[in-house]
Structure 1
Amino acid sequence: MDERRGLVVGHVQSGKTASYTGLICKAADAGYTVVIVLAGLHSNLRSQTQLRLDEGFLGYDSASESRGGGRQHIPLGVGRIDPELRPDTITTRLERGDFSRRVANNFAINPGRQPLLFVVKKNARVLKNLLDWVLWAANDREKETGRRLVSGVPLLVIDDEADHASVDTKEQPRDENGAFDEEHDPTRINGLIRRILFAFEKSAYVGYTATPFANIFIHEQGRTAEHGEDLFPRSFIVSLPVPSNYAGPARVFGLAETADRETLPPLPLIRHVPDEESGGWVPPKHRNGHRPRWRGGDDVPPSLEAAIRAFVLVCAARRARGRRGVHNSMLVHVTRFTAVQKEVKRQVEAALGDIGRRLRHGTAGGDPVRLALRRLWEEDFLPTTDEVVRVMRDPALPPLAWGLIEPELANAAADIRVMEINGTTGDALAYEEHKATGLNVVAVGGDKLARGLTLEGLSVSYFLRATRMYDTLMQMGRWFGYRPGYLDLCRLYTTTELAEWFGHIAEAGEELRGEFERMATVGGTSRDYGLKVQSHPTMLVTSRVKMRHGTEMRLSYAGTVSETTVFDTGAGVRRRNLAATGRLLARLGPPTPHRKRDNVLFWPDMQAATVLEFLDAFATHPEAPKAHSGLLRQFIQAQNAIGELTEWSIAVLPGGEAPVRLASFDVPMVRRACKPGTEQAPAAGRYVVRRLLSPRDEGLDLDEAAWRQALADTVEGWERAGGEATGRDRPAMPSGEGFRKSRSRNRGLLLIYPLNPSAAGGGVPFVGIGLSFPSSDSARTVSYRVNNVYWQQELEDAA
């Protein structure tokens, strides 16, 4: 048997279908005869995938039939390039065009024939019918077992959304030697996929997903006699590069600086939904049959009304930019229950209808809705366009004066339809049928909108559906993708908590992609390169049953920087931290003048005991596990025990604000704005900033030689990553990783920042701290979920 198992990691709504269409074409050129695409759980997603493969691989409309019953091969897409290349297909783009034994029996699996395409749902009945047909059409038998086998006909299986429904979630028994039970019965869909692969002498399985968390936790040794190998991507994992014009999680929510990257600020597209609105209208833990009510009335809450108005403005603005006849979509995803979705749809229709009537019949100058739309445009959309143009450097986003928007409003609102997208209604997103005129739609839904399905021209999203699993939550983010000519008009309305969760998942996802890239750099595969995903105190990486073969580990602070970015707004905590800082500075005595930055208060060559005493008195927020004063203290003590981190440099970094008294020093405070999307957090007892440190601050304690070495290491890393091909200029300053690599193991750096409290409503100043740790071979740890390969390597290293 010749079997390969691989995984391609893309980004949500980034063009994975285009990628595997290209892979299918190359595989067909290389001799793969049968191609099976597993295209999600729902018929509309399967149909959408078939449509794209009609254009990109088949070259004709799979649904067109001649009067005699045979297919009328009307050229499409690649079919217009070379109409002689005609793969066959057993499935069609119709909603009911999934696999059919009746149609399939007209075909055979033979070596040397034209490629044969199947685009099927991940549905047990469909896959069982497909397996039965494959075994019926098999042309050989395996000598050892006598089982039916397809030989001489290579199979390629593309598993779209490979982390969804394909992973075996059953407990897998083992014998006394740790080997898996050969008679194990896996979950139905996983078992059928594996049996189809196992029926071919030569097969390749390639999973595609933007959220590979579940896939890396498949056990690498999983196998049964009936099903063959499990779907662990043992042969390769490829991380697709992200184009510069893609607005994904990292771009929308931003990324903090790490050892491997610079800070990426978020785009100003997130709008906060107050907790009282999300909890009072459709609470997070509502039941089926819940009736959405806002303050007792049968109305949408103010934030959803604002989102609907924003969508009307988007449709008008795109018309004003000359983009008439294009699709425009708005997403409303607040519940999984179809009965509640029906109520939400009705309320959205009422709100939209009221806007439309007022625009048609209201007075041009004094109508409240028209005035609200103008205020929203001038106070929100125009400044956002300016900022997005500055960040993205996109000249195709011209600002539009109100005089160009207002004439388009009435027609824009009149064209919008509200649809309920679930399995109980006849509503369908028929974008193809409205290709000439454009479809303007508010899509109200739940699970059908949660994964895979593309909302064309999606600009405004209203999202309150909470889940604590990384992969499920990220896949619900339909707002990621390409937004040519209207990225500045896009908006995401969600809660502060959900925005923070998305930001954490974006960080964890980027870190995992970095692992994939390092694995590729050293020429490794997931068979021999262990993988890990950063954990979260209140979220799950994926469902527990998908992580059966994962292990929770705490990994080291060594070689990292820890900084406070979440602060308790309680006045008592603030006073405690100011007092602890004052006592520290009084104990340190007169500072040493810094050789380059004369405004910094700097004390080199301090003992670890001084830092430990300070951390013991300093209070950090419980939701900041990376900067927890207790854990930091334990880590330093553990390193002290082996002769590391025994000496410290301490620096107080002043800003440009009013001074605060710390011991005998008047230190100008630093200003840090609230992290976007958390502006209301201070009212809930939290003040959240994106970054506390400035990158260059980590080099404060290095001498000239160490600084030059840090820069050399940074430039070397830039060159190793591709140099100018990465789109970044040659570094002129060391990275944080470069600074930390150049610091000796016995030295740490404590940075202290007095913060102006105005961003959190004023009152007592805050104190932020950052600790920069050198690299080390031993350390206490940050919590990660690691896969079995990683865990076994840890055990081997410890042996």
Structure 2
Amino acid sequence: MNHTPADALLDIHASALAGMASSPKHFERWAALAADEDHPDADLSEERFHEGLVSADDALTALWSRHLTAWDFAEDPQWAQGTPARTDERRTVVYDRLRFGSDLRKALDNAVPVAKLPGPTVITREFTPWYTPERTAVRSFYWKSYEGKLRAKGWSDAAIAGLDEASRAIVERLTDPEQPAARQAKGLVVGYVQSGKTANFTGVTAKAIDAGYRLVIVLGGTLNLLRAQTQRRLDMELIGQENILRGADITDLDSLVGIDYVSDDDADWPDFVRHGGRPSALGAFDIERLTTRDNDYKSLAQGIRALEFEKREPTRPLHDPANLHHTAARVLVVKKNKSVLTKLVKDLKQIHGLLGELPALIIDDESDQASVNTLDPKKWEAGKTDRTAINGLISQLLGLLPRAQYVGYTATPFANVFVDPGDEEDIFPRDFLISLPRPAGYMGVQDFHDLDDNGQGQAEATHVRGIYDSTGDRLQEALDAFVLTGALKLYRADHGVPEGPFRHHTMLVHESVRMAEHAALALRISSMWHNAAYKGTEGHARLASLFEKDFHTYTDAALPTPETYADLKPYISRAHQLISKGGTPVIVVNGDSERDYNQPDLDFDRTPHVWKILVGGTKLSRGFTIEGLTISYYRRTTQQADTLMQMGRWFGFRPGYRDLVRLYIGREETLGRSRNAKTVDLYEAFEAICRDEELFREELARYAPLVDGRPQVTPAQIPPLVAQHLSWVKPSARNKMFNAELVEVRSPGTWVEPTAYPALPAELAHNTEAWEPVLAALGDTPVRLAVGSEAGYDARVGTVSHETLMQVLCDLRWSVPSQFSPHLEFLLRAGQQPTIDDWFVITPLQSAAGRREARILGQGLFTPARRARRRDPLFGAISEPKHRAAALRIAGAVTTAGSAAVEENVRPRRGALVLYPVVESELRLTADGSVDPRDLVMAFSFVAPKSSVRPGSPLVRFRAIDSGRQDAIVIERDDVRP
């Protein structure tokens, strides 16, 4: 066979890289060995390699992309010299080992940039490593097949490497399926709402069955539709055609009867994974499905034999390698349904003896739904644990399968981490908790809420609209936006954007949990739709106005968008036609019956195009992915943060149309119908719970690094890290929470901002007077504080001793004392050791045009800031981002140099405190220009010096009530270790 020079070069590089296995080596030598026989005259110079990269040789670049990315992501390999994964330093080590010159390095960096992505955050107990690179290299049949499928779907090498890393972090914390002693591991994986958790647990399943797990039970939601979606995904991307056919001849129609996907001509069947033959004939093992797309688990008609495992060596246990790697795996995808799980438990009980030898994996999707025991422990009989139905059946499964590993998946973890860790039969993730990174291309909270953008408000301006404006309800505008965005998708498909992301186009209307109201709302929308005159002058005028004032302003310049409505107008008719197909644009999705979900337009997998408006309540808010969701009209309230977050169906991946996404959300809604009903802001509530979740992830990341090779915290110590920004939105339902207390938070170099200030005038006056020693220490002349290239700000500053500040902080009163007490404990202990000498106090002077000056307790002048409480009793963010850099620099948290006023005050054992005199309404001054202490909230933020915690010290201490320890309050961390 004749090869072109480019083909020969590719062959040589592929052979050389394959020979290197898992570590980079001297490339010239390996390439010479690869070229020796077949290509003795090949040009192996760096110049020729460089030429191939610069000339955009796609095959060569793709080959190197896979290998460089794998080396970039490798977790602490011996050859990496301790360099962190996904960094320039790691890439430099790779190039050094390959012996590449500077020009080639630059060309490779341009062709394959380092993917500087965050890895998973892991909170873990100590475990015995067993899932080694050598072991995975020998057994990775299904993982490699899945990896190939993802690459065919267009996943980047970085995305695949990230999934490889995250799934490996989970599998390696399961028990070795070959080990003689039975042991169960339980863990929790925390993703983002609609962020691709299924891809992760598919990867975990692939790796786990490669490693030796032979029974996989996936708890796939509470509805047939959700279960079927999960089954189809696993069948398509992991199990594959040959395992589904089970030897049936694809050309023999009679043999295909009853085989899902084939017998009903599923359009996606050609895209199902193909292994090239029965895996058992290729040196691997088959997967037998005990459930199908259309059939949940049923009592086995063919008898219990379907759950029996034959042994090659009958005298050895099933988990012995001689048996384990020669037997088929069984996979079940079942609903979290009492009847279904009861049948499974009953069948398993009939397998005598073998269950103790069977490595099993239970994956619980949406593990905070139905799986958590919500029965009140105070009502249990003495010595007896009462369980809800699903929780009890999961507990029975774990009891029947002593080698079963439990992995829960959720985007809202609070209910799971509040499970009693002392209940050995429950699902508390005692062994590991893994937080997945935000995936590339994901549209999440940062795209709808301006959390820290210094007041620019770009995310809200682009995507968020209120339910009402000066003309009233904006539902008609939302419908118009749905038509416009449909037309824009059609326009983009005609102008070079791949049509795949535009297959479905949907709108969500979610106002109430009441089914009667859904029917009325659907009727209202249908009436509005038919009276909207989308084909007439009035309708086009309305659409043209909305296009100009909204979508033309905020579209992504990188995507094709018409300059005028006239250019878009030809696509309006087609969009209207697609939405109206079937006679109505509306689908109602509610009820407890499965028939409500058997509508063809709800099956996004099997229906070619779904262009509809979905009206519903709770059933649209959990696990159900609304494909193509572009316009959301949302008014539903709830008092649980995890429930509210799960309703955020607008989070997810929006390739090619993320700039078109609009959220119409209630701003001032009434919660409850009693005379004590509260007025709430839904958008504010979402922002608050998003802050709660982001803070939870940040705290996990903070405590994840090992100290002296040991974990700082275990999953049992996680619950105190759960925050709450709004008093009326609890982290989870009360019956899912158990008691835990955070004793101390050590926060060297970290910005800490309490928000639970009292509201009573007498307590405010008390706090104001407590700050008098600090106010007196401030200089009269303002100074300019700046760091790096920032413009900076003016402030009054001064220095107080640590002892003086502690006297002030100990005297303060709080609306929620527990919010600040763990931080105060840390500061008090830091003074006793001592590790803090003094504090640099900064009181920023407001620069807004309407600022007013005031004296406080005879001191001044100050410029009080105006802030509002989120809802009693907590404030939202009080500080301004521009005020933080100077404090962080003075406390040694950052190294960027600041202005002279900053640098001359930097000390190794000095902290920084930013003091904000705050008023909640108009500033009222007395005749001498003073403000009444009863009108002031003396708010503050602080940064403890980096020196305040000694290297290697744990950062937290906890007390927790653990039923496994006879309800004793125990100290989880050594409280005498500095």
Same fold, TM-score > 0.5, yes or no: yes
Cα pair distance change 1:567/1:385, threshold 3 Å:
farther
Separation in structure 2 between the aligned mates of residue 552 and residue 686 of structure 1, nearest angstrom? 20
Contact map agreement 1:59 1:77 (CA 8 A) in 2: no
Structure-2 residue corresponding to 1:12: 193
Separation in structure 2 between the aligned mates of residue 519 and residue 640 of structure 1, nearest angstrom? 23
Contact map agreement 1:604 1:649 (CA 8 A) in 2: yes
CA RMSD of aligned residues (A): 5.4
The CA deviation at 1:182 is 6.7
> Which AA in structure 2 matches 1:600?
D
What SS class does the counterpart of residue 419 from structure 1 fall into?
strand
Separation in structure 2 between the aligned mates of residue 91 and residue 463 of structure 1, nearest angstrom? 36
Bigger Cα displacement from structure 2, 480-489 vs 26-35: 26-35
Structure-2 residue corresponding to 1:246: 442
The CA deviation at 1:200 is 2.3
Q: Deviations over 1:501-543 (max 9, x none)?
A: 2222222222222343345422537356544201342221111
Structure-2 residue corresponding to 1:359: 534
The CA deviation at 1:437 is 4.7
Structure-1 residue corresponding to 2:3: none
The CA deviation at 1:209 is 0.8
> Which AA in structure 2 matches 1:14?
S
> Which AA in structure 2 matches 1:710?
A
Alignment partner of 1:750 is 2:914: yes
Bigger Cα displacement from structure 2, 417-426 vs 305-314: 417-426
Q: 1:211 aligns with which of 412, 418, 440?
A: 412
- When the two structures are aligned, how many residues end up with a matched partner? 691
Structure-1 residue corresponding to 2:140: none
Q: Deviations over 1:185-226 (max 9, x none)?
A: 422211211212222242111111111111112222213xxx
TM-score normalised per structure 2: 0.60
Structure-1 residue corresponding to 2:315: none
Structure-2 residue corresponding to 1:108: 307
Structure-2 residue corresponding to 1:717: none
Structure-2 residue corresponding to 1:521: 705
The CA deviation at 1:161 is 0.6
> Which AA in structure 2 matches 1:79?
V
Alignment partner of 1:117 is 2:331: yes
Alignment partner of 1:159 is 2:353: no
Alignment partner of 1:25 is 2:206: yes
What SS class does the counterpart of residue 521 from structure 1 fall into?
coil
Separation in structure 2 between the aligned mates of residue 67 and residue 770 of structure 1, nearest angstrom? 77
Larger radius of gyration: 2
Separation in structure 2 between the aligned mates of residue 533 and residue 476 of structure 1, nearest angstrom? 20
What SS class does the counterpart of residue 238 from structure 2 fall into?
helix
> Which AA in structure 2 matches 1:604?
G
Contact map agreement 2:475 2:633 (CA 8 A) in 1: yes
Query: 5+ residue gaps in structure 2?
Result: 1-181, 263-268, 280-285, 311-325, 580-584, 668-680, 759-763, 923-930, 951-955
Q: Deviations over 1:240-277 (max 9, x none)?
A: 1222211123443244499xxx9997454553545899
The CA deviation at 1:126 is 0.6
What SS class does the counterpart of residue 454 from structure 1 fall into?
coil
> Which AA in structure 1 matches 2:278?
E
What SS class does the counterpart of residue 162 from structure 1 fall into?
coil
Structure-2 residue corresponding to 1:725: none
Contact map agreement 1:168 1:190 (CA 8 A) in 2: yes
Bigger Cα displacement from structure 2, 467-476 vs 511-520: 511-520
Structure-2 residue corresponding to 1:535: 724
Separation in structure 2 between the aligned mates of residue 344 and residue 63 of structure 1, nearest angstrom? 46
> Which AA in structure 2 matches 1:202?
R
The CA deviation at 1:457 is 0.6
Alignment partner of 1:374 is 2:553: no
Q: 1:470 aligns with which of 641, 645, 650?
A: 641
What SS class does the counterpart of residue 453 from structure 1 fall into?
coil
Q: 1:710 aligns with which of 893, 909, 915?
A: 893
Q: Kindly report which structure 2 residues correspond to 1:131-170, keeping only aligned pairs within 5 A, or say none.
A: 131-136=345-350, 138-140=351-353, 150-170=355-375
Q: Kindly report which structure 2 residues correspond to 1:471-490, keeping only aligned pairs within 5 A, or say none.
A: 471-490=642-661
Contact map agreement 1:656 1:669 (CA 8 A) in 2: no
Q: Kindly report which structure 2 residues correspond to 1:281-680, keeping only aligned pairs within 5 A, or say none.
A: 302-322=473-493, 326-355=503-532, 358-360=533-535, 362-363=536-537, 367=538, 369-385=539-555, 395-396=558-559, 398=561, 401-416=564-579, 417-423=585-591, 426=596, 428=599, 430=601, 437-496=608-667, 497-522=681-706, 523-524=710-711, 526=714, 529-531=717-719, 532-536=721-725, 537-548=727-738, 550-551=739-740, 553=742, 561=751, 590-591=780-781, 593-594=783-784, 600-605=794-799, 649-655=841-847, 657=849, 660-662=852-854
Cα pair distance change 1:605/1:468, threshold 3 Å:
same
The CA deviation at 1:485 is 0.8
Contact map agreement 1:318 1:486 (CA 8 A) in 2: yes
Cα pair distance change 1:766/1:63, threshold 3 Å:
farther
Contact map agreement 1:91 1:97 (CA 8 A) in 2: yes
Separation in structure 2 between the aligned mates of residue 606 and residue 312 of structure 1, nearest angstrom? 62
Separation in structure 2 between the aligned mates of residue 422 and residue 669 of structure 1, nearest angstrom? 51
Contact map agreement 1:153 1:200 (CA 8 A) in 2: yes
Cα pair distance change 1:353/1:70, threshold 3 Å:
closer
Alignment partner of 1:34 is 2:223: no
What SS class does the counterpart of residue 588 from structure 2 fall into?
strand
Q: Deviations over 1:725-756 (max 9, x none)?
A: xxxxxxx579xxx99x9767775523458999
Q: Deviations over 1:65-84 (max 9, x none)?
A: 96465537856545324342
What SS class does the counterpart of residue 207 from structure 1 fall into?
strand
The CA deviation at 1:607 is 7.9
Structure-1 residue corresponding to 2:49: none
The CA deviation at 1:610 is 11
Contact map agreement 1:659 1:667 (CA 8 A) in 2: no
Q: Deviations over 1:438-472 (max 9, x none)?
A: 21011111121110011001111112221111211
Alignment partner of 1:99 is 2:291: no
Contact map agreement 2:419 2:427 (CA 8 A) in 1: yes
What SS class does the counterpart of residue 511 from structure 1 fall into?
helix
Structure-2 residue corresponding to 1:199: 400
Cα pair distance change 1:447/1:6, threshold 3 Å:
same
Query: 5+ residue gaps in structure 1?
Result: 141-148, 224-228, 278-294, 296-300, 390-394, 569-573, 713-731, 759-763
The CA deviation at 1:665 is 9.2
Alignment partner of 1:82 is 2:263: no
Separation in structure 2 between the aligned mates of residue 253 and residue 480 of structure 1, nearest angstrom? 12
Separation in structure 2 between the aligned mates of residue 198 and residue 507 of structure 1, nearest angstrom? 38
The CA deviation at 1:591 is 1.3
TM-score normalised per structure 1: 0.72
Cα pair distance change 1:458/1:567, threshold 3 Å:
farther
Separation in structure 1 between the aligned mates of residue 359 and residue 225 of structure 2, nearest angstrom? 29
Alignment partner of 1:71 is 2:235: no
Cα pair distance change 1:415/1:28, threshold 3 Å:
same
Cα pair distance change 1:222/1:585, threshold 3 Å:
closer
Separation in structure 2 between the aligned mates of residue 529 and residue 318 of structure 1, nearest angstrom? 48
Separation in structure 2 between the aligned mates of residue 686 and residue 182 of structure 1, nearest angstrom? 40
Q: Deviations over 1:588-612 (max 9, x none)?
A: 6631645868962433236899999
What SS class does the counterpart of residue 357 from structure 2 fall into?
coil
